[in-house]
Amino acid sequence: MQRPGVIIAGGGIAGLTLALALHEAGYAPRVYEAAGQLAELGVGINVLPHAAKEFARLGVLDALVAEGVELERYMWFNRHGQEIWQEPRGRGAGYAWPQVSIHRGALHRVLAEAVRTRLGDAALLLDHQLTGFTQDATSVTAHFASRASGARRDSVRGEVLIGADGIHSALRRCFYPDEGAPRWAGNMMWRMCVELPGPVLGGATMFSAGTGELKVVGYEISAAARRQGRSLFNWIAEVRTGADGAPPPERENWNRAAGIEEFAHYFEDFRFDWLDVPALARASGQAFAFPMVDRDPLPRWTHGRVTLLGDAAHPMWPIGSNGASQAVLDCRALADALVAHDDVQDALTAYEATRLPATAAVVTANRSRAHDEILDLVERRAPQGFSDARAVISAAEIETRLASYKQTAQFDRQRVGSA
């Protein structure tokens, strides 16, 4: 059977993963990316076990594990550096699939290389910025311009158009022109990557330390650095600098470079016996600043032959490492729906029915800081610290809260699969 022609706008994590999933299902999609070249952008990112399972099916998981670090445990600390809780992660927690911490640029490169190898160079077109589309009963035509020159490019006709064009999605704006800027939570994040002479917390560990107002999150991301006994350490300094729902201080730009003087003074007291945060900031030298934003869930993503995917559909706070992983789940659901339905509009509607409510639940859970809520509970109950963490919060209370978040984000072990 002749598979419909699929046009994917956006060659980020979601667009490239969708291209691989559709190719596996017998399609020949094309990816149109606005950037003029593929650079290894960003800092660290986490692939949760449910997304790792999809990457294994697409034959790229081994390459990701070879580049990144298989996470073994997650730890939570109060703002005095005292341990509240730790739990095993990935295969160490009995999952059949790992949780992988990796540089976003490495993840992106592995996906782009797989797309070019399997679908051919012509399947990934750069400097093609989607500007709009038209559709009729049998087809959709996507319009593009060069981002570099602004010149119009040839329009492209297909049967399906997917908007995988990120947090500032042009396609989403076509459907919701009055939506405005993303919603700011009042927190700024400074994201950094620094090579350290040795591991933090023994390595293969991700941690959150502090409160919802002042927090450090960190994890190592490079297998190559580990082999040399060193650690490529990714970390985020998060500070409440504004009110929840206030207009963001700046437009979200993943690449906005910032000096450490923007945030380091907030963390003067974060000198723990296992990490000296002011010293870490000095060693890092430079950061990327990003306001913590998301958008309200939409009433619908699908309009005829056109739908949204990944951050274009459901940008969310990066609490709980779900941004990329939920995008990967979208790709599996969309590929399966297109295979299952002869009519592409039925397929897109079925995809949306599966994924819109599921991702809206994660957006909402992240807004309540569900993954890290034990930090604020402990701060309220024991602001000066504690001698016994279990006297402040019981194991049962923590486990119940964490299990609930995993179920909401669909990465509980029962659902993903045990080893």
Interactions with ligand FAD, residue window 188-207 (CB under 6 A): 191
Q: Which of 73, 79, 89, 104 binds ligand FAD (CB under 6 A)?
A: 104
H-assigned helices in 125-231 = 170-175, 223-227
Q: Backbone phi, then psi, for 307, in 5-degree steps?
A: -145, 175
Name the residue nearer to ligand FAD (CB basis): 164 or 239. 164
**Coil, helix or strand at residue 109:** helix
Please classify residue 238 by burial: count the beta carbons closer than 10 Å to its beta carbon, then call 0-12 exposed, 13-18 middle and 19+ buried.
buried
Q: How far is the CB of 383 from ligand FAD (least distance, A)?
A: 30
**C-beta of 313: minimal distance to ligand FAD in Å?**
8
Shortest distance, position 75 Cβ to ligand FAD, whole Å = 19
- Stretch touching ligand FAD by CB under 6 A, among 11-19, 180-188, 347-355, 410-418: 11-19
Residue 264 CB partners (closer than 8 Å, separation 6+)? 237, 278, 281, 282
Q: Is 365 helix (H, G, I), strand (E, B) or coil?
A: helix
Nearest-approach distance from CB 299 to ligand FAD, in angstroms: 20
Q: How many helices (H) and strands (E) does the chain have?
A: 13, 19
Q: Whole-number minimum distance, CB 399 to ligand FAD, in Å?
A: 26
Residue 195 CB neighbours (<10 A): 14
Distance, in Å, from the CA atom of 62 to the CA atom of 131, rounded to the nearest integer, reads 36
Closer to ligand FAD at the Cβ: 155 or 394?
A: 155
Give the x-and-dash track for 229-268 against ligand FAD (CB under 6 A): -------------------------xx-------------
Which of 20, 47, 58, 170 is the binder for ligand FAD (CB under 6 A)?
A: 170
Q: Least distance to ligand FAD from the beta carbon of 82, Å?
A: 27
Per CB under 6 A, contacts with ligand FAD among 293-312 are 310-312
Residue 29 engages ligand FAD in binding (rule: CB under 6 A):
no
Q: Does 164 bind ligand FAD (CB under 6 A)?
A: yes
Residue by residue, DSSP assigns 318-338 as: STTS-HHHHHHHHHHHHHHHH
Q: Tokens 């045990």 map to which residue? A: 418
| 351 vs 154: CA distance, rounded Å | 29
Number of residues that bind ligand FAD (CB under 6 A): 32
Cβ atoms of 263 and 318 within 8 Å: the answer is no
Q: Which of residues 44-103 bind ligand FAD (CB under 6 A)?
A: 45
Distance CA 369, CA 212 (A): 8
CA 13 to CA 160: how far, in whole Å?
Answer: 19
Residue 377 DSSP class:
H
d(CA 271, CA 81): 8
Rg (CA), the chain: 21
Q: List the one residue from 7, 13, 47, 338 that touches ligand FAD (CB under 6 A).
A: 13
Cα dihedral 64, 67, 71, 72 in deg (nearest 10)? 110
Nearest-angstrom CA–CA distance, 283 and 269:
17
Considering the complex, what minimum distance in angstroms separates the CB of residue 180 from ligand FAD? 17
Task: Out of 130, 280, 293, 382, point to the residue binding ligand FAD (CB under 6 A).
Answer: 130
The interface region with ligand FAD, picked from 28-36, 67-75, 271-279, 404-412 by CB under 6 A, is: 28-36
Binding characters for ligand FAD, 374-403, by CB under 6 A (x = yes): ------------------------------
Minimal distance in Å, beta carbon 195 to ligand FAD? 16
> CB-wise, 131 or 241, nearer to ligand FAD?
131
Which one-letter DSSP state was computed for residue 305? T
Q: What is the smallest separation between the CB atom of 268 and ligand FAD, expressed in angstroms?
A: 26
The stretch near ligand FAD (CB under 6 A) out of 36-44, 48-56, 276-284, 344-352 is 36-44
Indicate whether 166 belongs to the interface with ligand FAD (CB under 6 A).
Answer: yes
- Angstrom distances, CA of residue 223 to CA of 67, 155, 218, 344: 5, 42, 16, 42
State the residues that interact with ligand FAD by CB under 6 A.
9-15, 32-35, 41-43, 45, 104, 129-130, 164-166, 170, 191, 254-255, 310-312, 318, 323-324, 327
